[in-house]
């Protein structure tokens, strides 16, 4: 008996809408990563991108537990000597709240070309509005 794998044309992708208002960041990120990878589908295959599209709204109102607002640090490097810049989660939320969700979800995806392909299906918006009404995203509770 041979195992059948879905081809690119056979994979059906749905759109999911997640409201991040008063939701803990880690719980939302793990749920979104599972949807992006396609682990909720019976046709899940580790080496294929069988996942769905995920739209996250109200990213500016996401909740961090404990003292993470001040203690959690986001780092990036320019590539030059001494080019490391560190910013607390409070400042990241004030400047670019979308980055909190994007980095949390991308950290839970595979660190391969496949993971980079999956993260492109994630759309994050700081407020209520999003331009994906035509795709009819299904609201999902976290």
Cβ neighbours around 135 below 10 Å, total: 15
pTM: 0.92
Classify 15-140 by CATH class: alpha beta
pLDDT digits (tens, 9 = 90+) for 112-131: 999 999 999 999 999 999 99
pLDDT band per the 50, 70, 90 thresholds, residue 102:
very high
Mean pLDDT of 80-105: 97
pLDDT of 142 higher than 90: no
Q: Is pLDDT of 14 > 90?
A: yes
Residue 10 pLDDT > 90: no
Residue 8: pLDDT band (50, 70, 90) is: confident
Q: Which residue has the tokens 């019976």?
A: 42
Instruction: Provide CB contacts within 8 A for 48, sequence distance 6+.
Output: 5, 6, 11
Check pLDDT > 90 for residue 21: yes
pLDDT tens profile 66-88: 999 999 999 999 999 999 999 99
Predicted pLDDT of residue 1:
78
Residues pairing with 75 in the sheet? 86
Q: Which two tokens stand for residue 20?
A: 């991040």
pLDDT digits (tens, 9 = 90+) for 47-62: 999 999 999 999 999 9
Residue written as token pair 């996250």: 56
Start-to-end CA span in the chain (Å): 39
């Amino acid at each position: 008996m041979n195992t059948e794998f879905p081809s690119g044309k056979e994979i059906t992708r749905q759109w999911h809408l997640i409201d991040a208002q008063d939701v803990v960041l880690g719980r939302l990120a793990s749920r979104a990563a599972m949807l992006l990878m396609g682990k909720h589908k019976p046709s899940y295959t580790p080496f294929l991108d069988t996942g769905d599209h995920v739209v996250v709204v109200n990213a500016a109102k996401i909740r961090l537990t404990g003292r993470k607002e001040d203690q959690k640090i986001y780092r990036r490097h320019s590539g030059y000597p001494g080019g490391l810049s560190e910013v607390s989660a409070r400042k990241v939320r004030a400047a670019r709240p979308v980055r909190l969700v994007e980095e949390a979800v991308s950290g839970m995806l595979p660190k391969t070309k496949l993971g980079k392909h999956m993260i492109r299906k994630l759309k994050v918006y700081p407020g209520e509005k999003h331009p994906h009404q035509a795709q009819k995203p299904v609201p999902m509770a976290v």
